[in-house]
Structure 1
Amino acid sequence: MELLLALLIMITVMVIPVKLAASMVGAKNTGFFTCLGALIVASIIQLMAIRIVPALSEQLGILLSLPLTAVAYMMVLDTSFLKGILIAVLQGFILVLMTFLLAGLLVF
């Protein structure tokens, strides 16, 4: 039961930044399960890219991850490529902010 609860919390913490960023940018599909699907598609696309492109360098992987994530968000959230990039960047900032807030709450 604890594992299921931990998994549910982890999924929620991962989806909320995408949902908030998609709403800020004005994406057409901003539902919880749509954002969860966007995260899953982005992960699958990135895993395929890792398998296709050999691990040449860590910097290349970082450079490829942003446009690939933007393509996934563009397809699933029904938005433009530039808005997909903005969603990916905003998602990262919101996730870091949420992590700091949750870590601060757990300290006290």
Structure 2
Amino acid sequence: MITRSDVLSSRENNLNSRDGCLKIGGNYNQNKNSVVMGYLFLLIIFSAHYAYNGKWGMQILFWLTAGGLGVWWLIDIFRMSSIIKKYNDKQLANAIISVKAYSH
């Protein structure tokens, strides 16, 4: 997992241009998910919170088991922020990789 310090060191070492720094923020801000939207998908919009995070296999399994007969759904209420954080960390890593490729 890429941390904030990795981002800062990459920025100092590999990204001397202002365009590269702006590209990290642009890619990440466009692709990150919101915890509020995650809860909306879980509670209101057909429990489609896994689909919102791009995990269609988990989403179909969730629907087929009716949210683990409600148990899985209840657990996900408490896990939502970590589910979104994990997705956003992956998006940040992808943004850094694309900027590194762009800067070389």
Normalised by the length of structure 1, the TM-score is: 0.34
Structure with higher Rg: it is 2
Normalised by the length of structure 2, the TM-score is: 0.35
Greater RCO (Cα-Cα under 8 Å, separation 6 or more): 2
